Amino acid sequence: MHTYFAYGSNICPDRLKRRCPDIKPLAPAFTTDYQLTFPRTYDDPQYGGVASIEPITDKPISLPNQPLQVHGYLYQLSDNDLHRLDQYEGLAFNAYVRSTISVHVPPHFSNISSITTAWTYFAIPRPAPAVHHPPSKHYLNTIIRGATTHNLPENYINWLKSIQTLKIEPPPFHGREII
């Protein structure tokens, strides 16, 4: 079994369950070493930016009023789910890379250490160097819905709501989804 830290659209449990049917929700978590960014687009740029996290030490693309924590949710994944998620995240297409990070878990989740290691995905910026690509309203609302479902801190959800989205919403998405 694997521990996975979801912070982007995969934080939304119904979305992740469609991709990874064996998931088990564990606990909310956050990292203080990274910032949320949108450094690449879908394969078709008209669909906007997709989420990633970047180390604060790398001077990531800053968004207005950006918190110094990235909140997300921990899930337990089977080997098969992790393989499926690798496919959805586009590892074979160099869309994302998977790596481990340290995350903090609130103390009232006594079944999990207060600091634990989890897999997560990092977007490979396109084009390089990384620039901010506003997400679509639909994509950002998926992240907000997941954050709300998991009762993440209200100030973090309010910040997510403040992120500027595409000025024109793209048509319904029918292509290969990398997130």
Q: For 62-79, b where at least 16 C-beta lie within 10 A, e where not — what string?
A: ebeebbebbbbbbbebee
41 pLDDT exceeds 90?
Answer: no
Query: pTM (2 decimals)?
Result: 0.88
- How far, in Å, CA of 70 to CA of 38, rounded? 13
Q: Which tens digits make up the pLDDT trace of 126-175? A: 766 667 889 999 999 999 999 999 999 999 999 999 999 988 766 665 55
Mean pLDDT of 56-72: 78
Q: Which residues contact residue 93 at a Cβ distance below 8 angstroms, ignoring those fewer than 6 apart?
A: 178
- How far, in Å, CA of 113 to CA of 115, rounded? 5
φ/ψ (deg, to 5) at 103:
-130, 155
Residue 39 confidence class, pLDDT cut points 50, 70, 90: confident
Residue 43 confidence class, pLDDT cut points 50, 70, 90: low
Percent of the chain's residues with pLDDT above 70: 83
- How far, in Å, CA of 134 to CA of 119, rounded? 25
Q: Which tens digits make up the pLDDT trace of 92-111? A: 887 889 999 999 998 776 56
66-70, 82-86, 112-116: range with highest mean pLDDT? 82-86
DSSP string over 28-94: EEEESSEEEEEEEE-SSGGGBEEEEEEEGGG-PPP-TT--S-EEEEEEEE-HHHHHHHHHHTTGGGT
Percent of the chain's residues with pLDDT above 90: 51
Superfamily of domain 2-162: Gamma-glutamyl cyclotransferase-like (3.10.490.10)
Q: Which residues contact residue 63 at a Cβ distance below 8 angstroms, ignoring those fewer than 6 apart?
A: 35, 36, 37, 132, 163
